[in-house]
Chains A and B, each alone.
Chain A
Amino acid sequence: MRVGLFVTCLVDLMRPRIGFAALRLLEHAGCEVVVPADQTCCGQPAWNAGDRATSRRLALKLIDEFDGLDYVVVPSGSCAGMIRVHYPEVLRDDAVARARAEALAARTFELTDFLVNVLRIEDVPGGFRGSVTYHDSCSGLRELGVKAQPRALLGLMPGVELREMEAAEACCGFGGAFAVKFAGISTEIATRKCRSIEATAADAVVLGDLGCMLNIEGRLRRLGDEHTRVLHIAEILAGEDG
């Protein structure tokens, strides 16, 4: 099974170890992983800013790069959602491109969704010990139905105790450009999320989208929380050295 890994622009720049963790998980499950070297961004920022022309260009680029692979796996709910839910819409005016987008959408999965529902893995390499709370990132949850999958995977780890926070499904206030355009409102929402996390007293908050991760970690630290670790689900599943 040849699986294309789309690491996403934020992971590539900010947290490469999440990319390696995803790679390890896929290889651990027996996949042959391909990483197209020219990949950049899925075009989500342009799409959400109202720039259809740019999102079109980037969608076509990505579709070309991941052509011919059995699956495309993405360690981010919002980027996977962009490809699966929005690409056909981005390319709605062009029947041929739209058909290609739909074919790609059908083969594209968010990482935990892929591990649970396609690979059906029953063990993970990570050895994390401690309590964690899981933040449901909005796009993964509502566009792709990612909810049970990360919890099922955490359930495979004997050392992990899951403590659900209040309003785990509430937005963290990131929203891409929203976080800087409306920084005050974003902060207010992020603070509420931080309080829910802290109330669980978990050792780590775990999530599946880098945007939310930067926002939550950034706000937690600014509020003076130095101890709650902020981890991507791939990092915890693959083990720290991933």
Chain B
Amino acid sequence: MEIRSNEFKGRAVFAIHDASLQQALGKAREGFVGKRAQQAAELPEFEQLREEAKALKNHILDHLDHYLERYEQAVTAAGGQVHWARDAEEARTIILGICKRVGAKTVTKGKSMVSEEIGLNEALIDEGMEVVETDLGEYIIQLAHEPPSHIIAPAVHKTKDQVSDLFEAAHGGPRKTTVPELVDEARRMLRDKYFRADVGITGGNFLVAETGSSMIVTNEGNGDLTQTLAKVHIVTSGIERVVPTLDDATLFLRLLARSATGQETETYTTLSTGPRRADDLDGPEEYHVVLVDNGRSRMLAGRFREMLRCIRCGACMNHCPVYGAVGGHAYGWVYPGPMGSVLTPLITGLDNAYDLPNACTLNGRCASVCPVKIPLPDLLRELRHMQHQQEITPAMQRRALKLWRFAATQPRLYHAGERIAARLLAAIGRKGRIRRLPLASAWTDVRDLPAPAGRTFLELWQGKRGKS
């Protein structure tokens, strides 16, 4: 997928003025935030689970090579095959190779952010295959030719009316207007594709090392149909998604649904282990897992290791005021919100996403809800440090900081300058405020600047002390 993260500012302004987007975002905000809070409050050990999940993830990351090897052995023992992909291109080549070898015409897909990350759909379509997204949200945005705007609710930016329009155009009338009707229609359209599919591709929420199973959670059961009805099942997943045992997976499951959608548990939690065995009633003939690195081992070795704890729940974006104002598309690539602002520059390159680490107030709400306690604001700040070091930050900003440092470390100079500023600002102020300030128009275009009193605290205080 094309990286358009450097267009963040423009796309954000566009988003803020998109009335139906704002309507959709408002609804989502209320729903996700309230429901998560309720779930967290109802589970007394919720905070403790977060602590345990963080510790377990850290342990896994410390021994990632070990668990990945064990996982590969278990997959092989179950009759499946593991493929290692260093980057997006390698991953696409592997998957295309499998699809071509089996002569695939139709490929069904369960929801997978990694497949978005590696730009899989375009590659398959370019080879003449029909690609069908089976998650309702993904299906909707596929019809709209748009990327997902949220990692668990890809079509959260669409209103019901917009979905009605899309369905009418794609399926022919009569136009459906209620949610059940729309869901029914999508289900009817998808049924036939499941049966025709040659290859079913899913993501993997967790890869269980002890059994070689991949685990997915969905609310629609579409993942089950995708992976059991096609002749070939391909799991695409990042290397960091491995967990040692089934037991360990349950710890994350308890946090995932509660943090993501505010449900106690998702409707379907499905394990798949190898291809169909002789006495199985159904299942694929071939079972492949494509493990994608794409920058992850680099993260593992450096200061951003903690980001690899992410279980892709989306809570950080649900609670982010910036995401809440502009939605996911403004971020310009696959992963939006706080986790995306960390991942995008790390995966696609610092200078491909200059704005993202800066488009944050550092309010910290994301970290306070993250189920694996990733210190997202600290990681964003760390990225700003890298930008500064590598001189990616604008020269103007670096010059201003230098000047400010020069002043702030010399109290007499600083205080003299401050006294002048206090007097000037007080003099321009009318009724205690400044409505327009030429050099600070980015501030005064949208809000007043409360005018200062005219004397600084330190000079008044010294004056008072002098008298007493």
Using a CB–CB distance below 8 Å, which chain A residues touch chain B? 7, 9, 11-17, 19-20, 23, 35, 37-41, 43, 45-54, 57-58, 61, 138-139, 142-143, 169-171, 173-190, 192, 213-215, 217-219, 221-222, 230
Contacts and interface: CB of A to CB of B under 8 A. Distances in A.
B358 A16 contact: no
Contacts of A230: 450
Contacts of A170: 321, 365
A180 to B, nearest CB: 4
A46 B9 CA distance: 22
B448 A218 contact: yes
A44 to B, nearest CB: 10
7 contacts: A20-B460, A49-B384, A51-B398, A182-B358, A185-B16, A188-B16, A214-B450
B16 A19 contact: no
B458 A35 contact: yes
B409 A58 contact: yes
B450 A218 contact: yes
B448 A217 contact: yes
Given A138-B365, A185-B322, A218 B458 contact: no
A40 B414 contact: yes
Contacts of A52: 385, 388
Contacts of A176: 361-362
A19 B367 CA distance: 32
Contacts of A215: 447
B351 to A, nearest CB: 14
A214 B433 CA distance: 10
A49 B360 CA distance: 11
B301 interface: no
A183 B9 CA distance: 10
Contacts of B458: 7, 12, 35, 37, 39
Interface in B81-126: none
B251 interface: no
Given A13-B418, A40-B411, A49 B393 contact: yes
Given A58-B405, A178-B358, 4 more contacts: A57-B409, A178-B362, A180-B442, A183-B446
A47 B445 CA distance: 27
A171 B443 CA distance: 17
Contact of B363 (A50, A53, A142): A142
B456 A61 contact: no
B362 A138 contact: yes
B152 interface: no
A183 to B, nearest CB: 5
B462 to A, nearest CB: 7
A173 B321 contact: yes
Interface string B386-418: 111100010001100110110011010011001
A138 B368 CA distance: 11
A193 to B, nearest CB: 9
A1 to B, nearest CB: 20
B456 A180 contact: no
A61 B47 CA distance: 38
Contact of A39 (B360, B401, B411): B411
Q: Which 8 A-B pairs have the closest CB atoms?
A: A175-B361, A50-B384, A218-B447, A50-B388, A16-B457, A171-B363, A138-B363, A180-B442
A221 B447 contact: yes
A183 B445 contact: yes
B447 A38 contact: no
A176 B386 CA distance: 19
B381 A50 contact: yes
B448 A222 contact: yes
Contacts of B363: 138-139, 142, 171, 175
A48 B12 CA distance: 22
